[in-house]
């Protein structure tokens, strides 16, 4: 019996088969790598690229009907705040000052015996037979009727003295009164509105003396008196001596000093 020997492929054919297998494997590997790359690339693209913006449909030209609530709520309009105007400051009234001179013919002196003089100096004092009192008169017509009196001051100039009118502490005091349009004997004892309300002089020094008469002028003005009038006399009046007198310049400037009695008034 003849022993069969195994058939062997030729060596060249074996090598050829291996090349085919390797080629097929290479193709499959290439396909797998390409598929993986495509998959990964598509995935990354979907994460980076934004979604396309939808194109809005053109708006309708017709105005849509407003929706009506079943239970409409009425909203009251908010009122605008009311602005309060700032009041303007009230201006201060303007103050005016006027200086009046004693009236000629309405000032002078009157005596207890009925004598006197309206055209020379103003005199106050006494002698062995009489007592003398002096008088001053100022016209208020230049002050407006609706004015308010703020202040008033009376100034009188003493020119000289004779005898001892201020001996034993005597002094010249002032009454406020209304003796009218004429200075006559009735003025000597005319009732006072305010008696001895101020001391004008207490010694024989020559010069001015001033007193406040604001309340007296206000009283005249409030009572529509056309003048503000005053009487000068010694605080204690007794007949005696040889002639104790104090002399004051008058509205006539009788003693030539030009220091006429003054009533200075401030008003608004």
**Per-residue pLDDT at 53:** 47
51 SS3 class: coil
Question: Could you tell me the pLDDT band of residue 2, with boundaries at 50, 70 and 90?
Answer: very low
Q: What is the mean pLDDT of the chain?
A: 83
| Residues 155, 174 contacting (CB under 8 angstroms) | no
Q: How many domains does the structure of the chain reveal?
A: 1
User: Domain of 186?
Assistant: 96-267
Is residue 15 in a domain?
Answer: no
170 contact partners, CB below 8 Å, separation of at least 6: 234, 235, 236
Task: Report CA torsion sign: 132, 190, 251, 151.
Answer: positive
Instruction: Report the alpha-carbon distance of residue 210 to residue 188 in Å, rounded.
Output: 23
**pLDDT tens figures, 9-49:** 445 555 556 665 666 666 677 677 666 566 555 555 545 44
CATH number of the domain bearing residue 220: 2.60.120.230
**pLDDT tens figures, 161-186:** 999 999 877 899 999 999 999 999 99
Say how far residue 247 (Cα) sits from the centre of its chain: 49
Is residue 148 in a domain?
Answer: yes
Is residue 192 in a domain?
Answer: yes
Question: Could you tell me the pLDDT band of residue 242, with boundaries at 50, 70 and 90?
Answer: confident
Is residue 136 in a domain?
Answer: yes
152 exposure class (CB count in 10 Å sphere: 0-12, 13-18, 19+):
buried
């Amino acid at each position: 019996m003849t022993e069969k020997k195994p058939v062997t492929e030729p060596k060249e054919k074996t090598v050829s088969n291996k090349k085919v297998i390797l080629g097929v494997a290479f193709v499959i590997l290439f396909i797998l790598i390409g598929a993986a790359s495509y998959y990964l690339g598509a995935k990354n693209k979907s994460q980076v690229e934004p979604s396309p913006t939808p194109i809005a449909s053109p708006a309708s030209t017709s105005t849509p009907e407003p929706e009506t609530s079943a239970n409409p709520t009425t909203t009251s309009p908010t009122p605008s705040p009311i602005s309060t105007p700032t009041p303007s400051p009230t201006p201060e009234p303007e103050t005016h000052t006027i200086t009046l001179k004693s009236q000629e013919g309405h000032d002078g002196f009157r005596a207890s015996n009925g004598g006197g003089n309206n055209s020379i100096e103003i005199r106050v004092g006494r002698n062995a037979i009489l007592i003398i009192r002096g008088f001053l008169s100022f016209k208020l017509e230049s002050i407006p009727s609706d004015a308010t009196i703020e202040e008033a001051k009376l100034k009188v100039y003493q020119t000289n003295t004779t005898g001892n009118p201020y001996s034993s502490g005597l002094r010249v005091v002032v009454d406020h009164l209304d003796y009218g349009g004429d200075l006559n004997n009735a003025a000597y004892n005319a009732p006072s509105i305010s008696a001895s309300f101020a001391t004008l002089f207490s010694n024989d020094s020559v010069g001015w003396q001033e007193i406040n008469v604001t309340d007296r002028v206000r009283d005249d003005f409030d009572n529509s008196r056309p003048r503000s009038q005053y009487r000068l006399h010694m605080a204690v009046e007794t007949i005696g001596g040889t002639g104790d007198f104090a002399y004051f310049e008058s509205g006539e400037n009788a003693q030539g000093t030009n220091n006429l009695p003054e009533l200075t008034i401030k008003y608004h």
